[in-house]
Amino acid sequence: MLPERPAGTERLSEAELATLVTRDSMIGVAVVQPPTAAGPLTRRHPMEPAPNREIADMAGAAALPRKNGELVFDEAWQGRIFGMTVAMSHEACFEWREFQAQLIAEIAHAEREGESTSYYERWLHAFEATARDKGLLDSGALVERTRDFENGRRDDVF
Same domain membership, residue 35 and residue 2: yes
Residue 157 lies in a domain: no
Q: Are residues 77 and 114 in the same domain?
A: yes
Q: Is a pLDDT exceeding 80 seen at residue 136?
A: yes
pLDDT for residue 68 = 79
- The CATH code of the domain that includes 76 is 1.10.472
Q: Are residues 35 and 56 in the same domain?
A: no
Q: Which one is predicted more confidently, 63 or 42? A: 63
Q: Is residue 70 in some structural domain?
A: yes
Which residues constitute the domain of residue 20? 1-42
pLDDT of residue 35: 67
Residues 81 and 117 reside in one and the same domain: yes
Residue 112's contacts (CB-CB under 8 Å, 6 or more residues apart) are none
Torsion of CA 17, 23, 24, 25, to 10 degrees: 20
Residue 63 shares a structural domain with residue 93: yes
What pTM was estimated for this model as a whole?
0.61
Number of domains in the chain: 2
Q: Specify whether 4 is located in the same domain as 82.
A: no
Tens digit of pLDDT for each residue in 51-102?
A: 567 777 777 877 888 887 788 888 888 998 998 998 888 887 888 889 999 9
Answer yes or no: is pLDDT of 44 > 60: no
Instruction: Let me know whether 93 and 132 are in one domain.
Output: yes
If one compares 134 and 5, the residue with the highest pLDDT of the two is 134
Task: Determine which of 39-43, 51-55, 68-72, 143-147 has the lowest per-residue pLDDT on average.
Answer: 39-43
Q: Same domain for 66 and 31? A: no
Is it the case that residue 116 has pLDDT exceeding 70?
A: yes
Q: What is the DSSP string of 37-96?
A: TTBPPPPSSTT-SS--HHHHT--GGGPPPEETTEE--SSHHHHHHHHHHHHHHHTTSS-H
In a domain, 158, yes or no: no
One domain, residues 33 and 52: no
Let me know: does 48 contact 90? Beta carbons within 8 Å. Answer: yes
Residues 87 and 113 in one domain: yes
3-state secondary structure of 36: strand
Looking at the fold, whether 35 and 60 belong to one and the same domain comes out as no
